[in-house]
């Protein structure tokens, strides 16, 4: 029997949440006709189909595919899975390697031909849609209407035009927010820094854009890109559109902004939306120029670095622990500031956290590497994690026992009804409705049997030399950090093992407690990838990895292993 995972997606906020259920419904109908058992469903709502990397639903599907819980992925059409040709090809290859087929209602069973032709058609359609959307937005902007989201200080209004139809895209000033905008401009022109302005507003409980707290970057922004409160030309009645374009990073799947030349900008004057007078605007520009001149040497050095390392700043973490460090008090991120030290971003940017403790990057990285090497796969930590996992499994088993009783009773009743129908047909009492009923009962029988058999599946198997292999591979990765040609690869490998590092101020002055957390399942999968990499020259490299992590029940996972660094 085919064990099926359903996938559904809709891409726009303008579409309805029921679109997901509509797709599931027609897929369930087809599965019922084919006598296939549906074991899991996955979906992504209001997320573009142009990138798989940014969709949690498809990522969860790919993760569960490793467990062998299903052998067929079904969707309404191939473009529901992805419109990106490269993403479709990669996903197809990965599932094919796992022995999992893709089936869609529109195309049937997906083959290499579908991947090539449909992938090309979807990519062209996506490009055509982007061009038409861009053209439509340009027309709105030239009429003085909104070409995108609303910025701080304005709200959307709907107006009945002369033709009697509803006109969208118009804006009007929110006076309470306009007062705050003028206050920010005046304070900056008088010498206050964006950081101090943000702190003052947060202390007064003045909400910023989107109802969030203020930070210095929200106010300062980027002068050349026209971002931030101080650089928004709409505040002087000048609507500037198409300053930048967004291009998808093929590695991360994230959109990266790129500035457009001024010749491509679309500028429309909207005097009714002016909030700041020209004199105050010029005062802010003069102040920004003074600051830029003061720090021009630093800026030039940074620009030279970016021009020589175009891949690094946009695609690679700044350090081994970038994005992995969090504050234990406010749960906000710790980031690198100043003299290469990690500091609580909420404390520095918003003054909303009392955690003022900092730690040097080198010191924290050394503590993290020592923890990974000496503590993470210590036998007592592994044993504790496995015990917690087994406790969770026992709770699930208790829940399954109740369900099993219900499923077993239903299966007995279904089998009895099937026997009665078969007996009636052999006695000559045949009607077309009996065939339909028999088909329905057989489908119910298959589904119930699948539910009962799933509970007896193997949970987890770990090879006995996993700890030894871990220490071998972690030592090699740490040694690779010292080599320029392997530093980046080693950094990426080690980052996968770290779920997060929490920093808490200690009672001792200036001291910081650090706790590293990692998932045991992630560690075992990492070991498996290392084993496969080491046996890549063999005929069947995956064979030697068998036993590292054979299978995990869908939805179940290992408890995190956490320890003090």
pLDDT tens for each residue of 317-336: 567 888 899 999 999 999 88
Contacts of 200 (CB under 8 A, 6+ apart): 187
Q: Phi first, then psi: what are they for 553, rounded to 5°?
A: -60, 135
Query: Class assignment of domain 154-313?
Result: alpha beta
Q: Phi first, then psi: what are they for 457, rounded to 5°?
A: -70, 155
CATH architecture of 3-138: 3-Layer(aba) Sandwich (3.40)
For residue 134 the two structure tokens come to 């861009």
Whether the per-residue pLDDT at 548 is higher than 60: the answer is no
Q: Phi first, then psi: what are they for 84, rounded to 5°?
A: -85, 125
In the predicted model, what is the mean pLDDT of the chain? 78
Whether the per-residue pLDDT at 23 is higher than 80: the answer is yes
Per-residue pLDDT at 179: 94
End-to-end CA distance of the chain: 49
Per-residue pLDDT at 16: 59
For residue 211 the two structure tokens come to 């109802």
Contact 424, 515 (CB under 8 A): no
The H-assigned helical ranges of 143-295 are 175-189, 194-203, 216-220, 278-294
Q: Which pTM was predicted?
A: 0.51
Identical fold between 3-138 and 154-313: no
pLDDT digit string, tens, across residues 254-274: 667 788 888 888 888 889 999
Residue with tokens 């897929």: 27
Nearest Cα to Cα of residue 328 among 500, 519, 494: 500
Whether the per-residue pLDDT at 479 is higher than 80: the answer is yes
Q: What are the sequence ranges of the domains in the chain?
A: 3-138, 154-313, 320-565
Whether the per-residue pLDDT at 558 is higher than 60: the answer is no
Q: What percent of the chain is predicted at pLDDT more than 90?
A: 15
pLDDT digit string, tens, across residues 84-124: 777 888 888 889 888 899 999 988 998 888 787 766 776 67
pLDDT digit string, tens, across residues 123-173: 677 677 677 776 777 777 777 777 767 789 998 887 776 776 766 778 889
Per-residue pLDDT at 426: 79
pLDDT band at 337 (very low <50, low <70, confident <90, very high): confident
**CB environment 496-530: b (16+ within 10 A), e (fewer):** ebbeebbbebeeeeeebebbbbbbbbbbbbbbbeb
| Rounded average pLDDT over 479-494 | 83
Whether the per-residue pLDDT at 184 is higher than 80: the answer is yes
Which of residues 380 and 293 earns the better pLDDT score?
293
| Rounded average pLDDT over 190-218 | 90
For residue 152 the two structure tokens come to 């701080």
The rounded distance, in Å, linking the Cα atoms of 168 and 148 is 12
DSSP letters along 111-128, please? Answer: -HHHHHHHHHHHHHHHHH
Helix/strand/coil for 345 = helix
pLDDT band at 551 (very low <50, low <70, confident <90, very high): very low
Helix/strand/coil for 245 = strand
Which of residues 299 and 353 earns the better pLDDT score?
353
Neighbours of 86 (CB within 10 A): 12
Contact 276, 235 (CB under 8 A): yes
């Amino acid at each position: 029997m085919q064990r099926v995972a359903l996938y559904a997606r809709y891409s726009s906020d303008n579409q309805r949440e029921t679109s997901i259920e509509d797709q599931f419904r027609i897929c369930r109908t087809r599965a019922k006709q084919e006598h296939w058992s549906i074991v899991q469903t996955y979906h992504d709502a209001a997320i573009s189909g142009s990138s798989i990397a940014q969709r949690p639903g498809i990522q969860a599907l790919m993760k569960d595919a490793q467990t062998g819980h299903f052998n067929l992925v079904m969707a309404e059409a191939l473009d529901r899975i992805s419109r990106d040709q490269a993403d479709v090809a990669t996903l197809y290859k990965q599932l094919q390697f796992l022995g999992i087929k893709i089936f869609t209602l529109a195309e049937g069973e997906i083959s290499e031909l579908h991947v090539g032709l449909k992938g090309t058609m979807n990519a062209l359609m996506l490009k055509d849609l982007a061009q038409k959307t861009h053209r439509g937005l340009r027309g709105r902007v030239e009429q003085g209407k909104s070409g995108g989201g609303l910025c701080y200080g304005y709200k959307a209004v709907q107006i009945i035009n002369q033709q009697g139809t509803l006109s969208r895209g118009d804006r009007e000033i929110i006076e309470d927010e306009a007062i705050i905008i003028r206050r920010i401009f005046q304070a900056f022109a008088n010498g206050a820094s964006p950081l101090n302005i943000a702190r003052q507003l947060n202390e007064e409980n003045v909400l910023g854009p989107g109802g969030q707290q203020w930070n210095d970057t929200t106010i300062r922004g980027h002068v050349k890109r026209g971002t931030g409160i101080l650089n928004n030309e709409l505040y002087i009645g000048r609507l500037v559109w198409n300053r930048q374009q967004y291009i998808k990073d093929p590695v991360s799947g994230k959109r990266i902004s790129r500035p457009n030349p001024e010749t491509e900008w679309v500028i429309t004057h909207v005097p009714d939306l002016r909030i700041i007078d020209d004199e105050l605007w010029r005062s802010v520009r003069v102040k920004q120029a003074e600051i830029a001149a003061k720090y021009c040497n630093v800026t030039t050095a940074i620009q030279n670095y970016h021009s020589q390392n175009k891949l690094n700043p946009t695609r690679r973490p700044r350090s081994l622990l970038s994005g992995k460090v969090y504050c234990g008090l406010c749960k906000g991120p710790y980031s690198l500031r100043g003299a290469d030290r990690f500091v609580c971003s909420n404390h520095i940017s918003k003054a909303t956290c009392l955690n003022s403790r900092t730690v040097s990057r080198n010191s924290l990285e050394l503590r993290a590497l020592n923890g990974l090497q000496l503590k993470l796969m210590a036998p007592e930590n592994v044993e504790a994690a496995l015990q917690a996992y087994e406790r969770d499994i026992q709770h699930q088993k208790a829940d399954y026992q109740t369900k099993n009783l219900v499923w077993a009773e239903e299966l007995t009743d279904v089998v009895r009804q099937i026997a009665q129908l078969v007996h009636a047909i052999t006695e000559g009492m045949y009607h077309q409705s009996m065939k339909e009923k028999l088909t329905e009962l057989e489908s119910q029988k298959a589904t119930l049997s699948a539910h009962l058999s799933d509970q007896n599946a193997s949970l987890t198997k770990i090879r006995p030399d996993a700890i030894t292999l871990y220490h071998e591979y972690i030592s090699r990765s740490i040694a690779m950090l010292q080599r320029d040609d392997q530093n980046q690869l080693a950094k990426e490998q080690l980052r996968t093992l770290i779920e997060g590092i929490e920093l808490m101020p200690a009672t001792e002055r200036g001291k910081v407690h650090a706790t590293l957390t990692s998932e045991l399942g992630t560690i075992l999968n990492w070991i498996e990838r290392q084993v496969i990499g080491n046996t890549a020259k063999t005929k069947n490299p995956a064979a030697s990895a068998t036993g590292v992590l054979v299978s995990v029940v869908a939805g179940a996972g290992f408890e995190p292993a956490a320890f003090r660094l």
